[in-house]
Structure 1
Amino acid sequence: MLIIRNYEKTAEELLVHYDKASFYEEWLLNETWEIGFLASETEKSKVSFELLDYESSVFWQGQEFIIKEITPFASGEKCFKLIVATHVYYTLQDGYQYETLTGRRSPSQLLAHIFKDDSRNFSWSIRGSYISADKENFGDANYIKLINEILKIFPIAMIPDNRRLSFIPLDEFGKKINEPIRYKYNTDDVRFVINTYNLKTQIMGFGARQEDDESKYVFNPITYTSPESQKWGIRIQDPVRDERYQHADSMEERLRTDLQDYPEITGIVTLKWKTELEKGDYVPFIYEPMGINTYIQVVGIKTFPDIPNKPPEIVLSNTKQTMTKLLISLRQEGLM
């Protein structure tokens, strides 16, 4: 069920006579969350059809989406509108924080700085504890850009629920699913790029310096070598230099997390049947020719809710790329 409300918030109608086969929902991690559909004008739908205008709201499954793209056309005497509406969260790009701050800040302090002048009725909450990070001139950008900057620095996932934003530890985003993605098992349509361009097996970490002698470190720089080095040999990744770290064991955990000691896997699968996979879930990916049997994350889902039994298209990735770079890569490989 789709409800349309005009930009002025003075009229609201249930949308009737839209092509249910055309309706889709698409989500891409840190990039977009949108719905799209084709609506037609009939005697019964004249009012709701007129409400389908730029910046009008579309409510679906309790979430608000804002119409950003309309393609009007006619066929005979009948008029149509092809609609694309993005989640209300993305209207944060219309807000701007001109002031900047410099110094060591926690995620909650940075978020408070972003939203201190917000008049768009957004609220936020954050869960978990994080090591503060040094920031220089944080600000002078739109809200979305600044939020994405926080997500790149800290191990945090952002979950929007209309105008309520929840920031949670990244390891709490998504769950592990036991049902694997396996060629010739639950999919015949696998379009994957697997590469070892960034595969490394060893990394060094440098922590805090001593206050009375900056030429010395609080703990000796440590080297972490992945067990994968037995298979791939020693391949050295750029070191981590972070003076927030006072203890070697904390630095070693950071090195284990940062080291890219596995092939990068990005791609799209169309499953043979509907699935319980949700945003951020981790699913086993099995690819026998390279001996790969590893968990990779659902970073994109396109579903077709009004088409019975039509399975979703799933985007999977274990890379640290942004979704924009990932999708460009897939297009270059001819996979999209």
Structure 2
Amino acid sequence: MIDIIIQNYEKTKKEILVDYDKDSFFENWQENETWEVSFDVMKTKNNSYTFDLIDYESSILWDGQEFIIKAMTSSAQGQSVSKSVIATHVYYTIQDGYQYDEVTGKKSINELLSHIFKAGSRGFSWEVIDGNKKFITVEQENFGNANYLKLIEEILSDYDAVVIPDNRHLTFIPRSEFGMKTEEQIRYKYNTDSVKFDIDTYSLKTQIKGIGKKKEDETYYFSPITYTSPESEKWGIRVQDPVEDERYTISGNMSERLKKDLQDYPSISGTVTLKWTINPKKGDLVPFIYEPLNIKTYIQIVGIKCFPMIPNKPPEVTLSNTRKTMTAILAMLAKKGVI
């Protein structure tokens, strides 16, 4: 069993945590969204020193990675004092950096990352691995004037990339090269009896307007443009909130942004409940077989919530909710009359 080590904010003291609620401990990773650990602990004679180290901005060192306590609830009942902790991976502290300068033009992912960190590394290092040359240059307008995390999220979207943090070292790879194809299948009546697809049309829209930058004389560089999806023939006109972004001075770039931002398809996510522990890795493609709905395909793991302190408790797995994969599954569900 891996030890949990608590380190104070000043990084002058650290100690192994004991007497915490092992059943409460979990690690949760969701691709490009979150990576956190959480647990509950009550102060005892054995852990009183370590308990006092648990505070906002203190570090939790777990499985070779550093997490920073960002949310904590302290409570007391009689003589008993306890804390409930949520600690986010140190990668997310990158949002504390800000790049004010902007760049425009055709840029590679390396050029944009260099631009971000030109304002200061904040202790982070980075590399781009693209052996198959999947990354292309992308036309950028006024890239900058935002915190580091927001700018990296723009890069992940524009270049279809995934960032893999290892403490403060960031590796960027094409999404298509993330994860391995494995034969450790998820199959109905084998290691799961429960498959759940959440499908809703709350956010389904078919039309969106884009408004770019104004000149000094208060006229626009280009007239506001409206993009209407071909899906409007099926769903009618449903208007999404407009994009108002002063980074855009070229209408063609705004058009591409609108096509990317418009959610003209139902929101779909899939989860499975497993019967026993498997060892999926982040981004792995696993055979997903569910005979009642005639689903047989490789599908990517984009989220894992695991409970490493509870022997043999299976992880909760989130399956790919990319448009390509889930649209195909939606078609299968419709064919079966499920929706």
CA distance in 2, matches of 1:300, 1:276: 13
What is the letter of the counterpart of residue 143 of structure 2?
F
The two structures have a TM-score, normalised by structure 1, of 0.73
What is the letter of the counterpart of residue 101 of structure 2?
E
CA distance in 2, matches of 1:139, 1:320: 28
Structure 1 residue 285 and structure 2 residue 257: aligned? no
What is the letter of the counterpart of residue 122 of structure 1?
F
Cα contact 1:301–1:313 (8 A) shared by 2: yes
2:140 to 135, 138, 148: 135
Cα contact 2:6–2:59 (8 A) shared by 1: yes
CA distance in 2, matches of 1:127, 1:151: 14
1:32-181 equivalences under 5 Å are 32-128=34-130, 129=133, 130-181=135-186
Measured against aligned partners, the alpha-carbon deviations of 1:288-332 in whole angstroms (never above 9, x if no partner) come to 3443221111111000001000000001124249xxxxxxxxxxx
1:158-237 equivalences under 5 Å are 158-193=163-198
1:4 to 6, 26, 47: 6
Other structure's SS at 1:188 match: strand
CA distance in 1, matches of 2:20, 2:267: 41
**Unaligned segments of structure 1, at least 5 residues:** 198-240, 244-261, 322-336
Change (3 A) 1:196 1:50: closer
Cα contact 1:264–1:319 (8 A) shared by 2: no
CA distance in 2, matches of 1:281, 1:108: 26
**Shift, 1:265, TM fit:** 5.4
Q: Which residue of 1 aligns with 2:298?
A: 295
CA distance in 2, matches of 1:285, 1:77: 51
CA distance in 2, matches of 1:191, 1:81: 33
Other structure's SS at 1:99 match: strand
Q: Percentage identity across aligned positions?
A: 58
RMSD: 2.8
Cα contact 2:7–2:59 (8 A) shared by 1: yes
Change (3 A) 1:318 1:296: farther
Change (3 A) 1:24 1:316: same
Q: Which residue of 1 aligns with 2:17?
A: 15
Q: Which residue of 2 aligns with 1:309?
A: 312
What is the letter of the counterpart of residue 51 of structure 2?
F
**Unaligned segments of structure 2, at least 5 residues:** 203-250, 254-264, 325-339
Cα contact 1:5–1:57 (8 A) shared by 2: yes
CA distance in 2, matches of 1:90, 1:98: 19
Q: Which residue of 2 aligns with 1:227?
A: none
Other structure's SS at 1:9 match: coil
CA distance in 2, matches of 1:30, 1:317: 13
Other structure's SS at 1:111 match: helix
Q: Which residue of 2 aligns with 1:220?
A: none
Using the TM superposition, name which of 59-68 and 161-170 deviates more: 161-170
Other structure's SS at 1:58 match: strand
